[in-house]
Structure 1
């Protein structure tokens, strides 16, 4: 199985997020991410947050969870962050699950993540991406506040996520929305090998090419 896009779910989540985020007087990133999570029918939505971070994106993810009937989990580094996050989300009428601790500690119980949002301002954001146990049907990965990451740097991050195993990077893109979003779509497990087996046939060789600027992975048959 693969991630399947639903335009209707995405539109509904977008509208609901616009209404929910009015109390924060911010818009743009939250609505976009909410629509994406709902559109992909994400069943396990995970985000990272720390003290002083913005809340609208989290509200958008909580809205998306309502539309997909899935699970929304926020990972915070300490109790101070937990208290602040919980308080701010309560103002919007939201109460997602909150896990406190280091990525390696908390990610163990989060199996099958299909939508992951990390804050690029956190020093451990790349580590979170690498240790995440992604869904077998594929996943969407997002780095918010990404203006501080160079395009070359983002390409390296995405490649490191799919360096081991049978996954491949389907597509990655940078969007100048808010403080910048680096986004990537990772294939279903086994997608890389199965595609070569089905499409290649005898007498054909598949060559993997990585675009150094965008990080996109292309498979060329010879």
Structure 2
């Protein structure tokens, strides 16, 4: 039986988590759910605002690969190198565009977002929801 490429990527994600330590507390299966949801919606433009690359980043990049889309991951500058390495090791670097500017300055230029994930660990991120230009058909 042929293995689903998404399962392979998410296994890589779990291996990355073991290698680089815990990436935070998440519900089991939540990354698979997020990836399946974005892929099932056939999301072409996926936008993530986060404090660092995480299993969710890999899951969203895997969804972008399945749909032929791309993931714009907006991160702080200090974690850029580490985040790029994680994505490179997952084999998904062609699906991810990293941006390090202030999310409130980048999001207005991201039009018709099909799927977004905003890491709300920092209460300042909650204000970003108003800046999301979501695709009304998704």
Give the whole-Å Cα distance in 1 for the aligned partners of 2:68 and 2:45: 10
The CA deviation string for residues 31-73 of structure 1, in whole angstroms up to 9 with x for no partner, is 11111110111111111121xx462111111110011111211
In the TM superposition, what are the counterparts of 1:118-129 in structure 2 within 5 Å?
A: 118-129=118-129
Question: How many residues are aligned here?
Answer: 124
In the TM superposition, what are the counterparts of 1:14-29 in structure 2 within 5 Å?
A: 14-24=6-16, 28-29=29-30
Greater RCO (CA < 8 Å, at least 6 residues apart) = 2
Q: CA deviation at 1:19?
A: 2.8
SS at match of 2:137: coil
Q: CA deviation at 1:30?
A: 1.5
Superposition TM-score, scaled by structure 2 size: 0.78
Aligned residues: CA RMSD = 2.0
State whether residues 13 and 35 of structure 1, in contact with CA within 8 Å, keep that contact through their aligned partners in structure 2: no
Give the whole-Å Cα distance in 2 for the aligned partners of 1:120 and 1:108: 19
State whether residues 112 and 133 of structure 1, in contact with CA within 8 Å, keep that contact through their aligned partners in structure 2: yes
Give the whole-Å Cα distance in 2 for the aligned partners of 1:54 and 1:85: 5
Give the whole-Å Cα distance in 2 for the aligned partners of 1:125 and 1:35: 24
Q: CA deviation at 1:136?
A: 2.5
Give the whole-Å Cα distance in 1 for the aligned partners of 2:80 and 2:112: 23
Q: CA deviation at 1:103?
A: 2.3
Give the whole-Å Cα distance in 1 for the aligned partners of 2:73 and 2:33: 18
- Residue equivalent to 2:23: none
- Counterpart check, 1:46 vs 2:47: yes
Hey, which of these two has a bigger chunk of strand by percent? 1
State whether residues 17 and 34 of structure 1, in contact with CA within 8 Å, keep that contact through their aligned partners in structure 2: no
Where does structure 1 lack aligned partners over 5 or more consecutive residues?
1-11, 139-222
Give the whole-Å Cα distance in 1 for the aligned partners of 2:38 and 2:8: 13
Q: CA deviation at 1:110?
A: 0.7
